[in-house]
Every structure is written in structure tokens, then in C-alpha cells.
Amino acid sequence: MSTPEIRLQQRLGAIIAVNGRLLLALILTLTACIPSLALAQQSETEPAGAISLQPGADSDALIAERIASIFNQIPQFESLQVTVNSGVVALSGQTANDTQAQRALSLASRVEGAIAVDDRVVRTLDLQDNLNPLWDSLQNTLRGWIRALPLLLVAFAVFAVVAFAGHRLAGHTPLWSRLTRNPFLAELAGHAVRLITILLGLILALNILGATALMGTLLGGAGVLGLAISFAVKDSMENYISSIMLSIRQPFRAQEHVVINDYEGVVVRLTSRSTVLMTLDGNHLRIPNATVFKAVILNYTRNPQRRFDFVLGVDAEDDPAQAIQTGLAAIQQLDWVLADPEPHGIIESVGDSNILIKFMAWIDQRESDYGKARSLSIRAAKNALESEGFTLPEPIYRLRFDQTPATLAVNEVPEMPAKTEEPSSGATGSTTSANTNSSPDEVLNVRPDTTISRQVREERREAAVEDLLDDTRPIE
């Protein structure tokens, strides 16, 4: 064998020897680490702490005797057998269901010295064994109710007497009407007394039964339920409270002409839920009291004196002061215009071709209708201005023609024959004659229109509906 081959074999033998030593060292290291890893894992899974009793025949016998004495006191566990070996408790035998078996295992594990409990209990799931405890429980409950029956009757009698007395007291309407002087508040006071007496009777009955804890639970549940209901019926509660406030501080009376926000009419009545108006068209309008309580209310009836105004225009070349004097002189001669406060006029504005004059005067609404008085006052002022030579402005249109037409066609309009009125007889003729002879002042009188007021009075007299409006209550 040549020298290079010998050298190559020597090198390979040295490498194998070194690698073998390294592999052997690795195996020895892993072998040394495995017991320590096993101990670490055991320390993590098993609970730490010392066992109070040393394992042995004496301690095992004490544990078994203690568990057996406990099981002998429970009828369901009389058939269980207990064996203990080195602190490990083994339970065997039969139970009716898994609930009883888990209870037995739990009791055995609580005994001092029991390291572990081995479950060898058989669940029979027998029908009779499972129904007998339920039947015994029902019998015991029935016997308890029978023993407590006299006490229950006394508690019910106390509750019935107190509730009946509260009901009779709440139904004494004249008493609450005399105390509150308001039908709505009287009804509210009656309901409050009835509710308070029912709660008082319930509290007395529960105290007789000794169920004070149940009373606290009921009151707490009622509070939570009341809070939930109050959020659910927030709008209804707001309307109910608004009705109470409106009945105490009334903003209007019956048959008054009011404007509530954008709703105008004559007040018919105030109920516990809404305010009823009759519009000027004769229609019924119901407004929720919550809206009325927060609304802006305009009352036309509270002050019988009311001012009306109107604007007339004169030519820009006319003297506005003379026009004001002429118009006021005509207005002051009208019977329905009050002398105190006296009428007056002002220059409203000056336009391109006219001057606008505003006239203002006062009337008594109890004797004069507002719309009619204003209409006839405008007529009187206009006629006076025209009779004195003032020119009321008219619309001016400027027309421009780019080319003059060569010929203009003139259409002759035929003359229409004059219409002759045939004389009529009977009632029709007398009516026509009366209308022809009547002056405008007589036809357009300013007497107040009582149609709506008469309808409101008739409805209030005929309808048997409770009204919260009371003339004896203060008004805002």
C-alpha cells in the first residue's frame, strides 16, 4: 500500500474517533437532562403542599370511618361503600342519578387526609329512585303550606281590609273636590290614596308572614319596572303632568278666542289629555296638553279693546299731512271706533309714485266685529280721500312701439241691448226690494258674529264631558 493511501486512512480514522466521542457526549448529556425535565413537569402538574396525615393503616381507617359516618346520615348514600388505601378514597355502590354521585364525591374529597377520590359509583337512573325525592319534597312543601294556612288567612284578611278601606276613601269624590277645588286634582288624589293603601296593606301582610326580604325584592323590582315604564311612556307622562299644571294655572277660559302656536279657535274645554278648540270654520281641533303647556298663546278675548290698521296710498304730489287729517276725520265719525284711545295715522313709506299712509284705530270687540269694522273703516277713509280730491295711485304701464302700423283695423263692437229686469212678485220681490232699498252700512253692519260662540255654548251644555276649566281658579 502506498504512503498516500495510508495517510488517508489514518485521517479518516481520526475523524471517526472524534465524531464518536462527540456523539457519546451528546447522548450522555441528554440522558442526564431527561430526569430533571420529568421532575420539572411533575412539579408543574401536581399541586404543591404537604399532606396533613401520613399514609398508613390507621389514617386510612380513620378516613374511611369518617366518610362512612357522613354517608350514614344521608338516606341517598346509605348504599355506598368506602375504601381507603394510602389516602386514596374509592367510592363504590349505586346512586339514583349523577347529581347524587357528584355530591358524594364532593363530600368525600373534603375530608382531611383524602388525597384523591376514585369514582366507582354506578348511576342507576331508576324511575322510582328519582321520583321519590321529588314526591317527598312536594309533600313537605304541602305540609308547610297547610301549617301556615291560618297565618296566610290572617295576612290576606289584613290586606283585604286595608285595601277596601282605601278604595272607599278614594271613591269619596266630594271630600277630594273640597280639598283640592279641582276635578282633575281630586281624581288624581283619589288614585294616589288607593295606590298608597294597597301598598300599605301589602307591607302589613308580608310583615305578618315574616317575608320582609320578599318585600324588599318586590319594592326593588317595582322601582326598576317603574323606571322602565317611565322611559317607555315619556310622552304620555309629559302630557299628564302638563294637564295637571294647566288645571292649576289656567292660561285661558272657556269661549275665549285664542291662537295656540298656529292653531286659532274658540276654547271649548280642557280635558285630562287635550285642549279642545272650535275653529272659526266650525271644526273641532284637539291639541295635546303638552303642546299647549309649551306653546305661545295669543288671547284675543282677554282684552276687549283691539286695534286694527290698514294702509292707503295717495299720489306723490298730494300733501300727506292733509290726507292723514282727512282720513282720520272720516274714521272718527264711525260709531264703532273708540274715542279713547283715539285714532291716528302715520306715513308708512314713500314710493316712486305714491305715499303710503297707515291708519290705526281701536274698537270694542264685545260690540263690534273686528273684520267688519276694519273693512268699513277702509271704505270710509277711501271715500273721504277721493271726495277731497286726493288721487289714489293706480298701476302705470309704459308701452313702447318700435314701428307704427300702416293701418289699424277698427272693429266695431255691436251694442248690446239693455237688460231689463222683470218685476217679480211674492217673497222674491219683497226681498229684492228690501235689498235694493237697504244702504251698504245696514247690510255690512259691525255687530259681532256669535255663531261660533253659540255652538260652543250648546256643546258645553249638552256634552257630559268633564271640563277642567274653572272660573274660580287663577289665570295666568
Q: What is each CA distance from 360 to 107, 320, 350, 373, 378, in whole angstroms?
A: 102, 15, 18, 12, 10
DSSP H stretches of helix in 338-450: 370-387, 426-437, 440-443
Q: Which three cell numbers stand for residue 124?
A: 342507576
Backbone angle region of 452, left / alpha / beta, with phi > 0 → left and psi within -120 to 50 → alpha: alpha
When the candidates are 3.30.465.10, 3.60.21.10, 3.30.70.100, 3.30.530.20, the CATH number that belongs to 305-387 is 3.30.70.100
Q: Do strands 88-95 and 116-123 pair parallel, antiparallel, or not at all (unpaired)?
A: parallel
∠ CA 325-331-332, nearest 5°, is 85
Ranking 35-44, 236-245, 292-301, 430-439 by mean pLDDT, the lowest is 35-44
Q: pLDDT digits over 182-224, tens only?
A: 666 777 777 788 888 888 888 888 888 777 666 667 667 767 7
Cell numbers found for residue 397: 304701464
Topology of the domain covering 57-127: Histidine-containing Protein; Chain: A; (3.30.1340)
Helices (H) and strands (E) in the chain, counts: 15, 11
Q: Are 275 and 292 in contact (CB under 8 A)?
A: yes
Query: What is the end-to-end Cα distance of the chain in Å, rounded?
Result: 136
- How many CB atoms are closer than 10 A to CB 393? 17
pLDDT digits (tens, 9 = 90+) for 45-71: 333 443 344 445 578 888 888 888 888
Q: What is the pLDDT of residue 329?
A: 93
Q: How far apart are CA 198 and CA 437, in angstroms?
A: 77
Residue 203, helix vs strand vs coil? helix
| 263: Cβ contacts below 8 Å, ≥ 6 apart | 277, 279, 285, 287
> Does the pLDDT value for residue 309 go beyond 90?
yes
Under 8 Å between Cβ of 360 and 345:
yes
Domain locations along the chain:
57-127, 149-232, 305-387
Instruction: Decide: helix, strand or coil at residue 348.
Output: strand
| pTM exceeds 0.85 | no
Average pLDDT over residues 306-323: 91
